[in-house]
Protein backbone atom coordinates (compact mmCIF):
# COMPACT_ATOMS: atom_id res chain seq x y z
CA UNK A 1 0.00 0.00 0.00
CA UNK A 2 1.22 3.38 -0.88
CA UNK A 3 0.53 5.81 1.84
CA UNK A 4 -0.66 9.04 0.40
CA UNK A 5 -0.51 11.77 2.90
CA UNK A 6 -2.35 14.89 1.99
CA UNK A 7 -2.34 18.12 3.79
CA UNK A 8 -5.68 19.54 4.90
CA UNK A 9 -5.54 22.05 2.06
CA UNK A 10 -5.03 19.31 -0.53
CA UNK A 11 -7.94 17.30 0.86
CA UNK A 12 -10.09 20.37 0.77
CA UNK A 13 -9.10 21.02 -2.85
CA UNK A 14 -10.01 17.47 -3.88
CA UNK A 15 -13.36 17.80 -2.14
CA UNK A 16 -14.06 21.11 -3.81
CA UNK A 17 -13.14 19.60 -7.16
CA UNK A 18 -15.60 16.79 -6.58
CA UNK A 19 -18.27 19.34 -5.71
CA UNK A 20 -17.44 21.30 -8.85
CA UNK A 21 -17.93 18.18 -10.95
CA UNK A 22 -20.84 16.61 -9.13
CA UNK A 23 -23.02 19.69 -8.83
CA UNK A 24 -23.12 20.61 -12.54
CA UNK A 25 -23.65 16.99 -13.50
CA UNK A 26 -26.37 16.74 -10.89
CA UNK A 27 -27.92 19.90 -12.27
CA UNK A 28 -27.92 18.45 -15.78
CA UNK A 29 -29.52 15.23 -14.58
CA UNK A 30 -31.96 17.24 -12.50
CA UNK A 31 -32.90 19.27 -15.55
CA UNK A 32 -33.51 16.10 -17.50
CA UNK A 33 -35.65 14.67 -14.70
CA UNK A 34 -37.57 17.93 -14.64
CA UNK A 35 -38.27 17.73 -18.38
CA UNK A 36 -39.29 14.12 -18.25
CA UNK A 37 -41.34 14.18 -15.10
CA UNK A 38 -43.22 17.24 -16.23
CA UNK A 39 -43.85 15.72 -19.65
CA UNK A 40 -45.16 12.44 -18.37
CA UNK A 41 -47.31 14.06 -15.72
CA UNK A 42 -48.84 16.08 -18.53
CA UNK A 43 -49.21 12.97 -20.65
CA UNK A 44 -46.45 13.92 -23.04
CA UNK A 45 -43.14 12.25 -23.77
CA UNK A 46 -40.76 15.16 -23.35
CA UNK A 47 -37.36 15.06 -25.02
CA UNK A 48 -36.96 11.88 -27.04
CA UNK A 49 -34.19 12.50 -29.57
CA UNK A 50 -31.08 14.13 -28.14
CA UNK A 51 -28.53 11.42 -27.36
CA UNK A 52 -30.67 8.63 -28.71
CA UNK A 53 -32.16 6.97 -25.69
CA UNK A 54 -35.20 8.92 -24.51
CA UNK A 55 -33.40 12.17 -25.10
CA UNK A 56 -31.00 11.66 -22.22
CA UNK A 57 -28.60 14.31 -23.53
CA UNK A 58 -31.23 17.01 -23.88
CA UNK A 59 -29.95 19.23 -21.08
CA UNK A 60 -26.39 18.76 -22.30
CA UNK A 61 -27.45 19.78 -25.78
CA UNK A 62 -29.26 22.78 -24.35
CA UNK A 63 -26.15 23.76 -22.44
CA UNK A 64 -23.98 23.51 -25.54
CA UNK A 65 -26.49 25.51 -27.50
CA UNK A 66 -26.50 28.27 -24.90
CA UNK A 67 -22.71 28.24 -24.78
CA UNK A 68 -22.65 29.07 -28.47
CA UNK A 69 -25.09 31.91 -28.18
CA UNK A 70 -24.00 35.48 -28.32
CA UNK A 71 -23.56 37.11 -24.97
CA UNK A 72 -25.58 40.29 -25.32
CA UNK A 73 -25.32 43.08 -22.80
CA UNK A 74 -27.89 45.83 -23.32
CA UNK A 75 -26.46 49.22 -24.18
CA UNK A 76 -28.06 50.96 -21.22
CA UNK A 77 -27.24 48.20 -18.78
CA UNK A 78 -24.81 48.63 -15.91
CA UNK A 79 -22.30 46.37 -17.57
CA UNK A 80 -20.16 45.30 -14.63
CA UNK A 81 -23.07 44.56 -12.35
CA UNK A 82 -24.96 42.95 -15.18
CA UNK A 83 -22.19 40.51 -15.95
CA UNK A 84 -21.44 39.81 -12.31
CA UNK A 85 -25.02 39.03 -11.28
CA UNK A 86 -25.22 35.44 -12.60
CA UNK A 87 -22.10 34.54 -10.63
CA UNK A 88 -23.56 36.07 -7.49
CA UNK A 89 -26.59 33.89 -8.00
CA UNK A 90 -24.78 30.69 -8.89
CA UNK A 91 -21.80 30.64 -6.51
CA UNK A 92 -23.87 30.67 -3.29
CA UNK A 93 -25.79 27.71 -4.64
CA UNK A 94 -22.49 25.86 -5.07
CA UNK A 95 -21.44 26.89 -1.57
CA UNK A 96 -24.60 25.29 -0.13
CA UNK A 97 -23.15 21.89 -1.00
CA UNK A 98 -20.08 22.49 1.19
CA UNK A 99 -21.84 21.73 4.45
CA UNK A 100 -24.32 19.04 3.44
CA UNK A 101 -23.32 15.66 4.88
CA UNK A 102 -23.66 13.07 2.16
CA UNK A 103 -22.43 10.45 4.61
CA UNK A 104 -21.30 10.61 8.18
CA UNK A 105 -17.75 11.45 7.10
CA UNK A 106 -18.43 12.50 3.54
CA UNK A 107 -18.72 16.23 3.91
CA UNK A 108 -16.53 19.01 2.69
CA UNK A 109 -16.52 20.80 6.00
CA UNK A 110 -18.60 19.87 8.99
CA UNK A 111 -19.00 23.38 10.33
CA UNK A 112 -20.28 23.79 13.85
CA UNK A 113 -22.54 26.49 12.51
CA UNK A 114 -23.51 24.49 9.41
CA UNK A 115 -27.20 25.29 9.57
CA UNK A 116 -26.50 28.96 10.08
CA UNK A 117 -24.08 28.89 7.15
CA UNK A 118 -26.72 27.29 4.96
CA UNK A 119 -29.35 29.88 5.76
CA UNK A 120 -26.92 32.77 5.43
CA UNK A 121 -25.42 31.67 2.13
CA UNK A 122 -28.80 30.70 0.77
CA UNK A 123 -29.97 34.30 1.03
CA UNK A 124 -27.03 35.77 -0.87
CA UNK A 125 -28.57 34.69 -4.13
CA UNK A 126 -31.32 37.26 -3.71
CA UNK A 127 -28.68 39.97 -3.93
CA UNK A 128 -27.68 38.52 -7.26
CA UNK A 129 -31.27 38.62 -8.42
CA UNK A 130 -31.57 42.25 -7.38
CA UNK A 131 -28.33 43.07 -9.16
CA UNK A 132 -29.55 41.38 -12.33
CA UNK A 133 -32.87 43.15 -12.24
CA UNK A 134 -31.51 46.58 -11.51
CA UNK A 135 -28.59 46.52 -13.91
CA UNK A 136 -30.70 45.28 -16.83
CA UNK A 137 -32.36 48.69 -17.17
CA UNK A 138 -35.55 46.90 -18.03
CA UNK A 139 -38.89 47.42 -16.34
CA UNK A 140 -39.76 43.75 -16.38
CA UNK A 141 -36.41 42.84 -14.91
CA UNK A 142 -36.72 45.47 -12.21
CA UNK A 143 -40.25 44.51 -11.21
CA UNK A 144 -39.22 40.87 -11.21
CA UNK A 145 -36.20 41.59 -9.04
CA UNK A 146 -38.24 43.56 -6.55
CA UNK A 147 -40.85 40.86 -6.38
CA UNK A 148 -38.10 38.34 -5.88
CA UNK A 149 -36.58 40.35 -3.06
CA UNK A 150 -39.95 40.79 -1.39
CA UNK A 151 -40.64 37.13 -1.73
CA UNK A 152 -37.27 36.14 -0.30
CA UNK A 153 -37.80 38.32 2.76
CA UNK A 154 -41.25 36.90 3.30
CA UNK A 155 -40.36 33.26 2.85
CA UNK A 156 -36.92 33.30 4.40
CA UNK A 157 -38.64 33.63 7.78
CA UNK A 158 -40.58 30.34 7.68
CA UNK A 159 -37.44 28.55 6.56
CA UNK A 160 -35.32 30.07 9.28
CA UNK A 161 -37.93 29.45 11.93
CA UNK A 162 -38.51 25.82 10.96
CA UNK A 163 -34.76 25.25 10.78
CA UNK A 164 -34.45 26.90 14.19
CA UNK A 165 -37.02 24.47 15.58
CA UNK A 166 -34.98 21.58 14.24
CA UNK A 167 -31.83 23.05 15.73
CA UNK A 168 -33.63 23.37 19.08
CA UNK A 169 -34.64 19.72 18.94
CA UNK A 170 -31.20 18.51 17.91
CA UNK A 171 -29.39 20.83 20.28
CA UNK A 172 -26.76 21.65 17.66
CA UNK A 173 -26.23 23.68 14.50
CA UNK A 174 -23.86 21.12 12.99
CA UNK A 175 -25.63 19.29 10.19
CA UNK A 176 -23.99 15.98 11.03
CA UNK A 177 -25.12 16.50 14.60
CA UNK A 178 -28.67 17.19 13.46
CA UNK A 179 -28.75 14.00 11.38
CA UNK A 180 -27.34 11.99 14.25
CA UNK A 181 -29.93 13.41 16.62
CA UNK A 182 -32.86 12.29 14.50
CA UNK A 183 -34.77 9.16 15.39
CA UNK A 184 -37.10 7.16 13.27
CA UNK A 185 -39.59 8.10 11.87
CA UNK A 186 -37.82 11.22 10.82
CA UNK A 187 -40.49 13.49 9.50
CA UNK A 188 -42.79 12.82 12.40
CA UNK A 189 -40.09 13.71 14.82
CA UNK A 190 -41.43 14.94 17.12
CA UNK A 191 -44.96 13.69 16.34
CA UNK A 192 -47.04 16.20 14.36
CA UNK A 193 -44.69 19.09 14.82
CA UNK A 194 -42.08 17.48 12.59
CA UNK A 195 -44.46 17.02 9.69
CA UNK A 196 -45.74 20.58 10.02
CA UNK A 197 -42.18 21.88 10.10
CA UNK A 198 -41.35 19.84 7.02
CA UNK A 199 -44.27 21.25 5.03
CA UNK A 200 -43.38 24.72 6.21
CA UNK A 201 -39.81 24.20 5.05
CA UNK A 202 -40.98 22.90 1.67
CA UNK A 203 -43.20 25.91 1.08
CA UNK A 204 -40.42 28.29 2.08
CA UNK A 205 -37.86 26.50 -0.05
CA UNK A 206 -40.04 26.55 -3.13
CA UNK A 207 -40.73 30.23 -2.64
CA UNK A 208 -37.08 31.01 -2.17
CA UNK A 209 -36.22 29.23 -5.41
CA UNK A 210 -39.13 30.99 -7.13
CA UNK A 211 -40.54 27.66 -8.22
CA UNK A 212 -44.21 27.45 -9.13
CA UNK A 213 -46.59 28.10 -7.45
CA UNK A 214 -44.35 30.84 -6.03
CA UNK A 215 -42.82 31.92 -9.34
CA UNK A 216 -44.28 35.40 -9.44
CA UNK A 217 -40.83 37.01 -9.97
CA UNK A 218 -40.40 35.20 -13.26
CA UNK A 219 -44.09 35.06 -14.19
CA UNK A 220 -43.67 34.80 -17.93
CA UNK A 221 -47.16 35.98 -18.79
CA UNK A 222 -46.47 39.39 -17.32
CA UNK A 223 -42.72 39.67 -16.80
CA UNK A 224 -41.12 37.57 -19.56
CA UNK A 225 -38.43 36.01 -17.37
CA UNK A 226 -38.35 38.60 -14.62
CA UNK A 227 -34.82 39.59 -13.65
CA UNK A 228 -33.34 37.43 -16.43
CA UNK A 229 -35.23 39.06 -19.26
CA UNK A 230 -32.14 40.68 -20.75
CA UNK A 231 -29.79 37.75 -20.31
CA UNK A 232 -28.59 35.50 -23.06
CA UNK A 233 -26.20 32.62 -23.57
CA UNK A 234 -24.13 31.28 -20.72
CA UNK A 235 -25.11 34.03 -18.29
CA UNK A 236 -28.73 33.15 -18.74
CA UNK A 237 -28.15 29.44 -18.29
CA UNK A 238 -25.99 29.89 -15.19
CA UNK A 239 -28.08 32.59 -13.63
CA UNK A 240 -31.38 31.00 -14.34
CA UNK A 241 -31.75 27.38 -15.41
CA UNK A 242 -28.57 25.96 -14.01
CA UNK A 243 -28.82 27.82 -10.75
CA UNK A 244 -32.46 26.88 -10.44
CA UNK A 245 -31.83 23.17 -10.84
CA UNK A 246 -28.74 23.18 -8.66
CA UNK A 247 -30.65 25.18 -6.08
CA UNK A 248 -33.50 22.73 -6.17
CA UNK A 249 -31.21 19.78 -5.59
CA UNK A 250 -29.43 21.66 -2.81
CA UNK A 251 -32.70 22.34 -1.06
CA UNK A 252 -33.75 18.75 -1.53
CA UNK A 253 -30.50 17.72 0.13
CA UNK A 254 -31.02 20.19 2.95
CA UNK A 255 -34.56 18.96 3.48
CA UNK A 256 -33.25 15.41 3.55
CA UNK A 257 -30.65 16.37 6.11
CA UNK A 258 -32.97 18.32 8.38
CA UNK A 259 -36.13 16.24 8.20
CA UNK A 260 -35.59 12.87 6.54
CA UNK A 261 -32.62 11.62 8.51
CA UNK A 262 -29.98 12.39 5.92
CA UNK A 263 -27.69 9.46 5.28
CA UNK A 264 -29.42 7.15 7.75
CA UNK A 265 -31.45 4.16 6.49
CA UNK A 266 -35.14 4.72 6.04
CA UNK A 267 -35.98 2.41 8.95
CA UNK A 268 -33.56 1.62 11.79
CA UNK A 269 -33.16 -2.03 10.94
CA UNK A 270 -29.87 -3.91 11.23
CA UNK A 271 -29.55 -5.36 7.65
CA UNK A 272 -30.23 -1.98 6.10
CA UNK A 273 -27.16 -0.56 7.81
CA UNK A 274 -25.03 -2.40 5.24
CA UNK A 275 -26.23 -0.12 2.48
CA UNK A 276 -23.92 2.89 2.38
CA UNK A 277 -25.25 6.17 3.65
CA UNK A 278 -24.50 7.83 0.32
CA UNK A 279 -27.15 5.65 -1.28
CA UNK A 280 -29.72 6.47 1.37
CA UNK A 281 -28.94 10.09 0.99
CA UNK A 282 -29.30 9.83 -2.76
CA UNK A 283 -32.64 8.01 -2.52
CA UNK A 284 -34.05 10.50 -0.07
CA UNK A 285 -32.82 13.49 -2.03
CA UNK A 286 -34.33 12.04 -5.19
CA UNK A 287 -37.61 11.67 -3.37
CA UNK A 288 -37.40 15.26 -2.27
CA UNK A 289 -36.67 16.42 -5.81
CA UNK A 290 -39.61 14.41 -7.05
CA UNK A 291 -41.84 15.95 -4.41
CA UNK A 292 -40.72 19.47 -5.25
CA UNK A 293 -41.31 18.89 -8.94
CA UNK A 294 -44.63 17.20 -8.33
CA UNK A 295 -45.93 20.17 -6.35
CA UNK A 296 -44.42 22.51 -8.89
CA UNK A 297 -46.27 20.91 -11.79
CA UNK A 298 -49.65 20.57 -10.11
CA UNK A 299 -50.17 23.92 -8.44
CA UNK A 300 -51.32 27.06 -10.17
CA UNK A 301 -49.31 30.22 -9.70
CA UNK A 302 -50.24 32.49 -6.82
CA UNK A 303 -50.99 36.11 -7.45
CA UNK A 304 -48.48 38.54 -5.96
CA UNK A 305 -50.80 39.68 -3.16
CA UNK A 306 -51.87 36.09 -2.44
CA UNK A 307 -48.23 35.15 -2.28
CA UNK A 308 -47.42 37.82 0.25
CA UNK A 309 -50.57 37.18 2.26
CA UNK A 310 -49.82 33.49 2.38
CA UNK A 311 -46.38 34.14 3.80
CA UNK A 312 -47.20 36.87 6.30
CA UNK A 313 -50.66 35.77 7.37
CA UNK A 314 -50.27 32.02 7.30
CA UNK A 315 -46.76 30.67 7.17
CA UNK A 316 -44.98 33.04 9.52
CA UNK A 317 -47.58 32.87 12.32
CA UNK A 318 -47.68 29.12 11.87
CA UNK A 319 -43.92 28.86 12.15
CA UNK A 320 -43.95 30.98 15.29
CA UNK A 321 -46.59 28.71 16.79
CA UNK A 322 -44.51 25.71 15.83
CA UNK A 323 -41.45 27.17 17.50
CA UNK A 324 -43.52 27.53 20.68
CA UNK A 325 -44.82 23.99 20.33
CA UNK A 326 -41.32 22.68 19.82
CA UNK A 327 -40.15 24.49 22.91
CA UNK A 328 -43.04 23.05 24.88
CA UNK A 329 -42.23 19.62 23.54
CA UNK A 330 -38.61 19.93 24.63
CA UNK A 331 -39.57 21.19 28.07
CA UNK A 332 -42.53 18.97 28.84
CA UNK A 333 -42.32 16.16 26.33
CA UNK A 334 -40.99 12.71 27.03
Partner 1 sequence: MALDVDQRLERARRPGFGIGLLKGMRVLLKHLFKRNSVIQYPDVKQDLSPRTRGVIALKEENCTVCMLCARECPDWCIYIDSHKETLPPKREGGRPRKRNVLDRFAIDYALCMYCGICVEVCPYDALFWSREFEYAEYDIRQLTHEKEKLSDWMATVLPPTELEEGADIPGQPSKAAPAAAAATQTATPTAAATAATPASVTSSATEARPGQAQTAPREGTAATEAARPAASAPDAATTPAPETAKPAPGLAEEVKDQQMDSTAEARAEPEVKRDAGGAVEAEGSQAEVEDKAEAETPSTPESTAVTQTPPPAAAAPSRPAPRIEDLEQPEDAYARVLDEQSKAGSSPQVAEARAKVARVKAERAMTQARAAAPQEVAPTPEPSGAPGAAEPEPEQGPVAPTPEEKPDSSAPQAEASSPGEDPEAVFERVLEEERAKGSSDAVATARAKAARMRAGRGAGSAGPQEQEGTKGPND
Whether 259 contacts 205, CB under 8 Å: no
Question: Of residues 297, 309, 323, 325, which one binds partner 1 by CB under 8 A?
Answer: 297
Whether 152 contacts 208, CB under 8 Å: yes
Question: Of residues 139, 294, 303, 321, which one binds partner 1 by CB under 8 A?
Answer: 294
Q: Which of these segments, 18-26, 33-41, 123-131, 277-285, binds partner 1 (CB under 8 A)? A: 33-41
Q: Which is nearer to partner 1, 20 or 314 (CB)?
A: 314
- How far, in Å, CA of 19 to CA of 108, rounded? 9
Q: Which is nearer to partner 1, 7 or 42 (CB)?
A: 42
Looking at residue 301, what DSSP letter applies?
A: P
Question: Of residues 76, 105, 298, 306, which one binds partner 1 by CB under 8 A?
Answer: 298
Please state, in angstroms and as integers, the Cα–Cα distance from residue 135 to each residue in 46, 208, 222, 247, following that order.
35, 21, 20, 23
CA trace torsion 119, 29, 274, 3 (10° rounding): -80
Q: Kindly state the smallest distance separating residue 294's Cβ from partner 1, in Å.
A: 6
Binding mask 210-249 for partner 1 (x = CB under 8 A): ----------------------------------------
Q: Which of these segments, 9-17, 37-45, 52-60, 100-108, binds partner 1 (CB under 8 A)? A: 37-45
- How far, in Å, CA of 46 to CA of 64, rounded? 19
Q: Kindly state the smallest distance separating residue 285's Cβ from partner 1, in Å.
A: 19
42 contacts partner 1 (rule: CB under 8 A): yes
40 contacts partner 1 (rule: CB under 8 A): yes
Rg (CA), the chain: 20
Which contiguous run of DSSP H or E holds residue 75?
Answer: none
Whether 234 contacts 243, CB under 8 Å: no
Question: Of residues 283, 295, 323, 325, which one binds partner 1 by CB under 8 A?
Answer: 295
**Chain centroid offset of residue 153 CA:** 16
Binding mask 43-72 for partner 1 (x = CB under 8 A): xxx--x------------------------
The Cβ of residue 69 has, within 10 Å, a number of other Cβ atoms equal to: 13
Q: Which is nearer to partner 1, 189 or 310 (CB)?
A: 310
Q: Which of these segments, 105-113, 180-188, 255-263, 295-303, binds partner 1 (CB under 8 A)? A: 295-303
- How far, in Å, CA of 207 to CA of 59, rounded? 24
Q: Which is nearer to partner 1, 48 or 87 (CB)?
A: 48
Whether 69 contacts 232, CB under 8 Å: yes
Q: Which is nearer to partner 1, 116 or 287 (CB)?
A: 287
Residues that bind partner 1 (CB under 8 A): 37, 40-45, 48, 294-295, 297-299
Amino acid sequence: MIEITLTDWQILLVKLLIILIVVPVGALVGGYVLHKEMAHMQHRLGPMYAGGWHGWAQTLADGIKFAYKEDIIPASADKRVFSLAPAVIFVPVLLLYLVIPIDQNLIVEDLDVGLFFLLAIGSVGSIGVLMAGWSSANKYALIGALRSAGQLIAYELPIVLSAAAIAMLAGTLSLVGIVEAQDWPYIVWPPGIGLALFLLFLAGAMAEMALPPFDMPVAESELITGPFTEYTGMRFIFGFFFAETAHMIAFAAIGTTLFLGGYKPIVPWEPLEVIPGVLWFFVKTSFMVFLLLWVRFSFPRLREDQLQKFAWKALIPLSLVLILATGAWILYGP
